[in-house]
Amino acid sequence: MSIQSNQVKYESLVNIYQSLDATTKRLEKTDILANFFSNIGAELLPIVTIMALGRVFPVWSEEELGIGSKLLMKAIATVVGITPEDVEDQIRDQGDIGAASELLFKKKSQTTFFSKPLTIEMVYHNLRKVASVSGNRAQSRKIAIILELLSLASPDEAKYITRTVLEELRVGVGEGTIRDAISQAFNVDKNIIDRAHMLTNDLGLVARVAQEEGVEGLQKLSLKPGKPVKPMLAQLAEGIKASVDEMGRVFCETKYDGIRVQIHKKGSKIMIFTRRLENISNAVPDVIQYIENSLPDEDFIVEGEIIVTDNGKPISFQYILQRVRRKYDIEKAMEEVPLTLYLFDVLYYQKPLIDAPLEIRRETLESIVKLEENKIQLSKQVKTDRENIEEAEKLFKDSIDQGHEGIMIKDPTAPYIPGIRGKKMLKYKAEPETLDVVVVGGTYGKGKRAHFVGSYLLALSDEFGDLKTIAHAATGLDDQMLLELSERMEKLIVERKGQKIAVKPHIFLEVAYSEIVKSPEYESGYSLRFPVIKRIRDDLSLEDIDTVQRVNSMFKGH
Ligand code: AMP
């Protein structure tokens, strides 16, 4: 029998968190969640789906709780009746705010416990309310809401509420596990769930439709302006000739080296998302302006690459991150770091277009964009085939000469396939291959550099999404970048032993190397010779990093 009432105790979700915490096996986690989902009523299902990920808003939402650890420590201190410094000490001892809160709440004299049990709905709605508070005395009004929740919480509940507030649930559940659990709970093929998710990026909605309408309802879900779609990804081309031979007819385009953006217009609102689906609209008012000037007034979704240019010439990728991460002095940044947008696809215009072949989408795109020099352009394109390969080669050469990265080779008959790295869109670059990795640790330098993390421990993911180390990299960063990275590392430390630290996997790097070699020293079984950090990749997430399987096949290919 399913739990119909929306008065389900928060405690039952906490029990689920604890069971998830108790196993590292993905299949067991999937079972636990599937069982929970199939027993929960339709109203609560979307809520528990997102809360199982430790969030109250989807990643792409502009809304955020806006409560930092300092403020939360103050709230905990107030409820428990100690000083914020005591809370900080406890966090240091326990390693995280959740465990520290649990302990402190246990010590607290039992007063209000269980007088009015928390429900899942209450926790969810109150946390959402926190995000909506703005203006006068916002901080103290936010804290008042958190205080109310914490004052009703048991120690176990406090552990997970505090972790949720800081978006660090740590129960080892990612979107993939949630998708598997929905598929299992409602007996729907995993591919159907995956596609519905790629299109809507709303797992709560997917779960609810799976439960209430099954396959038929899921197949009707489509993309909607305002909700970002997981971008279609490219595979590496073996060579220009091999790729054109295989596709027959191709669209080749310059590959611009910036950040990919998906631009949505819904009503009068223009939203810009990165490939990680972060909403960066506020950081790039100039791009919003280009769109307003050059695209129609109707709803649409288009995709392109934003690059930094100096008189039309592309300049270093690194500058673009300064632009999109910027929260203040945006006007000044706009002048110093001008952006050009190269559009290359349209996913929605008057209706969803993702199932239309690329050639139709490109035609549509060409018909709706008004070009403006140095501001908004279409990706440079040549249409060619097996008989005219030299045209593709010429585009490659011209693109490199103009300072771009290489070319994309696309199948003009292919639909837009969200979230998949397939064979219908290939990339061919001039530079030697690099790997996208995540930093999991580091070592402080010596002498003058004792305050900097000088060497970074890098990891890839394996087929289960677990991180496996592959190399230490110490070169490639200039002093300013070293300083910036060191500061970011400080905030991510989870363990410290002498000069060595372990950090949360939040910093992504692109590394070049001379060779992949077998090595028992690292968990992946491989190591990199002469790794050089090429750039910080804040546009990536854990799902994007390279895998041990890829390194394995690259190693075998040598
Ligand atoms: P990947 O991110 O590994 O799939 O490599 C492809 C990336 O190249 C896309 O995500 C875009 O950010 C970028 N890109 C640059 N120019 C183009 C283009 N003309 N068409 C498609 N992608 C492009």
**pLDDT attached to residue 62:** 83
**CATH architecture, range 434-557:** Beta Barrel (2.40)
- Indicate which residue's Cα is closest to atom 3 of ligand 1: 234
**In the predicted structure, residue 2 carries a pLDDT above the cut 60:** no
Residues within 6 Å of ligand 1 by CB: 233-234, 253, 255-256, 260, 275, 305, 344, 379, 408, 427
Ligand 1 atom having least distance to the Cα of 379: 19
**Cα torsion at 207, 208, 209, 215 (round to 10°)?**
50
CATH 3.30.470.30 intervals, the chain: 233-429
- What homologous superfamily does CATH list for 5-54+172-220? DNA ligase, ATP-dependent, N-terminal domain (1.10.3260.10)
Task: Say how far apart CA 308 and CA 475 lie, in whole Å.
Answer: 25
pLDDT tens per residue, range 444-491: 988 777 888 989 999 999 988 889 999 999 888 888 888 889 999 988
Q: What is the mean pLDDT of residues 191-202?
A: 94
State how far the alpha carbon of 347 is from the alpha carbons of 199, 263, 305, 450, in Å.
11, 10, 15, 50
- Indicate which residue's Cα is closest to atom 16 of ligand 1: 255
**In the predicted structure, residue 280 carries a pLDDT above the cut 50:** yes
**In the predicted structure, residue 3 carries a pLDDT above the cut 70:** no
Tallying the residues shown for the chain, one arrives at: 558
**In the predicted structure, residue 110 carries a pLDDT above the cut 80:** no
Rg of the chain taking only CA atoms, in angstroms: 25
Q: Give backbone dihedrals phi and psi of 94, rounded to 5 degrees, phi first.
A: -85, -20
**pLDDT attached to residue 274:** 93
Element (H, E) at 429: strand 421-429
State how far the alpha carbon of 179 is from the alpha carbons of 187, 192, 460, in Å.
12, 10, 22
Q: Which of 139-148, 244-253, 530-539 has the highest mean pLDDT?
A: 244-253
Class of domain 233-429: alpha beta
Residue 111 banded pLDDT, cuts 50, 70, 90: low
Q: Give backbone dihedrals phi and psi of 549, rounded to 5 degrees, phi first.
A: -60, -40
CA of 207 to the centre of ligand 1 (A): 31
CA of 115 to the centre of ligand 1 (A): 56
CA 285 to chain centroid, in Å, comes to: 22
CATH 1.10.3260.10 intervals, the chain: 5-54+172-220, 69-165
Provide the whole-model pTM.
Answer: 0.80
Fold of 69-165: DNA ligase i, domain 1 (1.10.3260)
Q: What is the mean pLDDT of residues 208-218?
A: 97
Whose CA is closest to 244, among 432, 420, 412, 422?
Answer: 412
Those residues whose C-beta lies under 8 Å from the C-beta of residue 92, and which sit 6 or more positions away, are none
pLDDT tens per residue, range 302-342: 999 999 988 778 887 777 877 887 778 888 888 888 899 99
CATH 2.40.50.140 intervals, the chain: 434-557
**pLDDT attached to residue 270:** 97
